[in-house]
Structure 1
Amino acid sequence: MSPVISPKALSLGKLSLFFCPLEDELLTSAQADSIRRWLPEDELTKVSRYIQLSARDKGLMVRGFLRGILSLVAKETGANGESVSPADWRFEYGKQGKPKLVSGQQAQSGLLFNISHSGNWLVVAVMGKTAHHNINELGVDIERSRQTTNIYPILNHYFTHEESKALLALPNDKQRERFFDLWALKESYIKAKGLGLALSLKSFSFDFSGVKKAKLDLFAKGVCIEVLPLFAGIQLNLHRGESVKLADTWSVLFGKLNEEYRFAVSLDLDSKLDIHAHKMDIKDLLNEFESN
């Protein structure tokens, strides 16, 4: 049987992005029961609070994907030299709700993660600390482009003058695209900092003047199934009153999963990122643990 994740694609120094479909019809009753067995009482309670069955199923899938992916990554990277069951992971939360592993597990595994979901997609970003990649802040966001959103009133409230000016200088048919690119990047940085909206969206900005287009191979079961467009070379600037400072110790990038969904990553790393992307289905993930 082909491995869910190719061992060659993972190491503690690489950023792994897992794209996980959340269509509730993909989850059977037996699979939902399997995920429930992984969850502690507090997470089961949170899921049960959703009124709609589809929302409960998505809540289960998000938690199942995260726990299963962390276990697969820990196993393949050799983190701590031991396997960790999906049911054994424990999380704590920052003041604004950012999840992370409890300190003991994070120290043992070396893993840092962040998640985001929008519509029918979840993205899980995982990276491990090494002597050369000692990151402490990681944020990821996935956004669904919506044609009904009136983007122009939002510009003055949440974008800096420089961002708005650059966006409005684009051809009309490109302005909506840039809006959602910026929104995904801003969300990823806010999530990396763990401050929520306590961090003003106007206190930082992104400059696309040096953007470079690249490609990101998307794998499933160790086989490349698609090539995604990826954009790097984006400059993050920090605003303090009238002064603007380049955040040169950060790496930011965004890409497109398809025409409707784009994703962005921000992390406190000033060296070149080695990125691997994987499409993960809940059936394959659960089968990986049931077969062991």
Structure 2
Amino acid sequence: MPGDIHVWSVRDEEIGDEGLLALYRSWLSVEETERMGRFMFARHRHQYLVTRALLRSTLSLYAPWVAPQQWVFASNAWGKPAVVAPAVPMAFNLSHTEGLVVLALTLESSVGIDVESRHRAVDLELAERFFSPHEVRHLSGLAEAERASAFITFWTLKEAYIKACGQGLSIPLDSFSFSLAVPGQIGFSCQNLDPLSAGRWRFWQGESGAFVLSLGCSPAQTEPAMAVRFYETVPGRGHTPGAAVMCRTSSG
């Protein structure tokens, strides 16, 4: 796994077995159980439960001496969670949208992942207000029918970068920029990073059906051959190789 990112996905709406859901609930901490109970709608409680089960059971696949219920997490000042016990050198990040939950795991110091559906409603005015000038020009040059899809492409990349940094929206969305000018490649620049530091960042974008997912990672060492491996799972039941297709990567 060194130098790799493993992406695990689960279709939360397809999990309805009561015995399996009871197992998931037995893995939750008191804090997680209380948080789940605060969701107003049953579908949100269900997705939260599956999300925590995905995280806990997958971590235990890599550290089988730790039971899913034994993992302890804490969040930084901006809300990004991390493992605090037992001590393992794994970084993770989670994202979800309606119908899909994804988890990214790596031995690097940090990773960010975001997933969205191409079918979700988008507000293109957000791009004009918050995206970089380069990104706005790219969107403006597209046919109207293509703009919503391109917005999702940019949005997931920007979310992945922010989540990898772990500083939330304290990082202005227009302070960094992605370029999609070269087919299959992702260009990246950032006002707050020198070119060498910006060049260390790696980005990937894949598609699975109607879903688009983006990853961002700044490896501790230069890893030009970093690989992304996809898996699909039902937590506590098993997993198979994922069906996501990589559509673009950073040139590094």
TM value normalised by structure 2: 0.86
Tell me, in whole angstroms, the C-alpha distance in 1 between the residues paired with 2:111 and 2:235.
24
Whether the aligned pair in 1 keeps the contact of 2:122 and 2:148 (CA below 8 Å) is no
Per-residue deviation, residues 38-63 of structure 1 (Å, max 9, x unmatched):
11111111111122222222111110
Q: Whole-Å Cα distance in 1 between the matches of residues 38 and 144 of structure 2?
A: 43
Q: Where do 5+ consecutive residues of structure 2 fail to align?
A: 240-252
Please name the residue that 2:45 is paired with.
56
1:238 aligns with 2:196: no
Q: How many residues align?
A: 235
Aligned-residue offset at 1:37: 1.4
Q: Any residues of structure 2 matched to 1:91-170 within 5 Å, and which?
A: 91-102=73-84, 105-106=86-87, 109-128=88-107, 135-146=108-119, 148-151=121-124, 153-170=125-142
Distance in 1 separating the partners of 2:138 and 2:195: 18
Q: Aligned partner of 2:129: which letter? A: H
Amino acid at match of 2:204: L
Task: Find the aligned partners of 2:42 and 2:143 in 1 and give their Cα distance.
Answer: 43
**Gaps spanning 5+ residues in structure 1: where?**
1-10, 76-82, 129-134, 213-232, 287-292
CA distance in 2, matches of 1:209, 1:74: 41
Q: Hey, what's the Cα distance between the residues in 2 that align with 1:148 and 1:250?
A: 29
Distance 1:93 1:166 in 2: 36
Tell me the residue number matched to 1:41: 30
Letter paired with 1:267: C
Question: Cα distance, 1:175 vs. partner?
Answer: 2.1
- Alignment root-mean-square deviation, CA: 2.1
Corresponding residue number in structure 2 for 1:16: 6
> What fraction of aligned residue pairs are identical, expressed as a percent?
26
Distance apart, 1:105 and its partner CA: 3.1
Matched residue, 1:254: 205
Displacement after TM superposition at 1:211 (Å): 4.2
Does the 8 A contact of 1:123 with 1:142 survive in 2?
Answer: yes
**Residue-by-residue CA offset, 1:209-250 (whole Å, 9 max, x unaligned):** 2342xxxxxxxxxxxxxxxxxxxx31211025xx98471010
Contact 2:57 2:236 (C-alpha < 8 Å) held by counterparts: no
C-alpha contact 1:252 1:264 (8 A) present in aligned 2 = yes
Contact 2:12 2:100 in 1 (8 A): yes
1:263 has 2:252 as partner: no
Q: Of 212, 231, 240, which residue of structure 2 is paired with 1:278? A: 231
Query: C-alpha distance in 2, partners of 1:51/1:156?
Result: 33
Say if 2:154 is the partner of 1:201: no
Structure 1 distance, partners of 2:136, 2:61, is: 42
Task: Supply the distance in 2 between the matched residues of 1:67 and 1:156 (Cα, whole angstroms).
Answer: 39
Question: TM-score, normalization: structure 1?
Answer: 0.75
Which protein shows a greater Rg?
Answer: 1
C-alpha deviations, 1:153-207, integer Å up to 9, x for none?
A: 1222111111111222233332222110000000011111111111110110101
Amino acid across the alignment from 2:216:
S
Task: Measure the CA separation in 2 of the matches of 1:280 and 1:209.
Answer: 34
2-side partners of 1:181 and 1:194: how far apart?
20
> What secondary structure does 1:167 align onto?
helix
SS of alignment partner, residue 236 of structure 1: strand
* Structure 1 runs, 4 residues or longer, greater than 6 Å off: none
Matches of residues 207-218 of structure 1 in structure 2 within 5 Å? 207-212=179-184
1:217 paired residue number: none
Cα distance 1:147–1:40, how it changes in 2: closer, same or farther (>3 A)? closer
CA offsets 1:108-142 (integer angstroms, 9 cap, x no match): x22111110011100100112xxxxxx32210000
* Alignment correspondent of 1:79: none
> Contact conserved, 2:57 with 2:235, CA < 8 A, in 1?
no
